Chains A and B, each alone.
Chain A
């Protein structure tokens, strides 16, 4: 099938298109089109003498309109309404799935020569996901578990408590009074509030023992 250039004035977005794109993704699409151009033709069908309906590429149509393009390459298909809807669904839905290990290796290679901010402007990734995925195939199970075990040994214990507003006020007052002493240091625990609660409990226990 050959792509033909069609004037934007003749193209209409499909009103039934269920595929939506949020603004973040639209921004990435704009970046991609402005950087690489419209590398994939739209898929359209003729709906009357002067108009073509876009079956695939409705978001790209929006972007090229914003950019002031006059024509875009389109692949023209001849389909009735429901077959057009079916093809649009097939084009949107029939995609492979990334193997995350292979994707990670690819991202690593890209990262080796393309700045991270450029990658993030085009791909739906975050700094964290980019870093994590690029290392996916490089971690050793034994080393990971050794490091995890070490981290567990040094991990501070959490205690979650629930208070009413009134109780919390009392607890906060007591903790804030003890904070100065907790700040004096001498604890293994770097959490000052934790140390303050510890001192309060210790104070209570010592006093209770005296009684």
Chain B
């Protein structure tokens, strides 16, 4: 998954710190691990990106009364993303890569689901921080990350995607897997025509599971971006 991927797919986003005093309806959402095969099936069908990124490490389901009504996944994320925090290694972080919740879930479910997952990740793993991205192209500013207390670090670098002629937009990691290298110069010298597909930067958020690492964040934290309104557009 490139830094450019957008993570949240919901029809309505509800602001508010749902994690702090969840309603009984929100408390009825039970988070459980689910097999990747199930996560993939749901994400491919319902998430607007229709794909589960390679490098997915954890997949949790949102269950209500025995029904699976949502999926959240965490994966390796963009290459070198760990280097945003001084003194960390790739295993210190994960990226929240996909979130899809059914409309049947109550308002503020997104915040509740994220809060519960972060709490468990903090308690049961040694992960230091979690990254996530919101796609301005989808008019997302990351409202749910703002509601759950993530730090905003501005727009990410717009890493391009690549088309090797089959119409599939690959990130550089997938390009290297397909052709053995992501060096455009090397590929071009060998007659391989790779089309560069420019991407737009994404809003980047970070959540520290280990507060000791908070001061090691290299980028400056910025005020939350505001959602465009019809008046301000």
Contacts and interface: CB of A to CB of B under 8 A. Distances in A.
Contacts of B126: 149, 152-153
Nearest to B177: A160
Residue of B31, B37, B63, B123 with most partner-chain A CB within 10 A = B37
B182 to A, nearest CB: 9
Interface stretch (A53-61, A135-143, A196-204): A135-143
Contacts of A81: none
Contact of A149 (B34, B37, B61, B125): B125
Given A137-B63, A145-B120, A162-B176, A100 B38 contact: yes
Contacts of B57: 148
Contact of A162 (B31, B124, B181): B181
Residue of A97, A132, A133, A136 with most partner-chain B CB within 10 A = A136
Nearest to A163: B180
A142 B125 CA distance: 10
A135 B45 CA distance: 21
A164 to B, nearest CB: 9
Given A148-B58, A149-B125, A162-B176, A141 B33 contact: yes
Nearest to B117: A141
Interface residues on A, range: 20 to 34
B61 A101 contact: yes
Contacts of B120: 141-142, 145
Given A100-B38, A136-B38, A140-B32, A145 B121 contact: yes
B31 A105 contact: no
B125 A145 contact: yes
A52 B148 CA distance: 61
Given A132-B35, A139-B33, A141-B60, A100 B125 contact: no
Interface string A144-170: 111011001100000010100000000
Contacts of A105: 66
Contacts of A101: 61, 63, 66-68
Contact of A136 (B35, B69, B124, B125): B35
A211 interface: no
Contact of A100 (B42, B121, B123, B181): B42
B80 interface: no
Contacts of A100: 34, 38, 41-42, 61, 68
Interface string A76-112: 0000000000000000000001011110110000000
B11 interface: no
* Main DSSP-derived SS at the B contact region: mixed
Contacts of B181: 162
A145 B119 CA distance: 11
B91 interface: yes
Contacts of B91: 152
A7 interface: no
B32 A137 contact: yes
A141 B38 contact: no
A133 B38 contact: yes
Contacts of B41: 100
Interface string A7-38: 00000000000000000000000000000000
A149 B121 CA distance: 10
Contact of B124 (A102, A142, A160): A142
Contacts of A104: 38
Nearest to A133: B38
Given A149-B124, A162-B181, A133 B176 contact: no
A149 B126 CA distance: 7
B124 to A, nearest CB: 4
9 contacts: A100-B34, A100-B68, A101-B67, A102-B67, A132-B37, A133-B35, A145-B121, A149-B125, A152-B126
Given A99-B68, A104-B38, A140-B32, 10 more contacts: A100-B34, A129-B37, A132-B38, A135-B35, A136-B68, A137-B63, A139-B32, A142-B120, A149-B125, A162-B180
9 closest Cβ contacts across the A-B interface? Answer: A132-B35, A145-B124, A101-B68, A144-B33, A139-B33, A149-B125, A100-B38, A99-B67, A100-B68
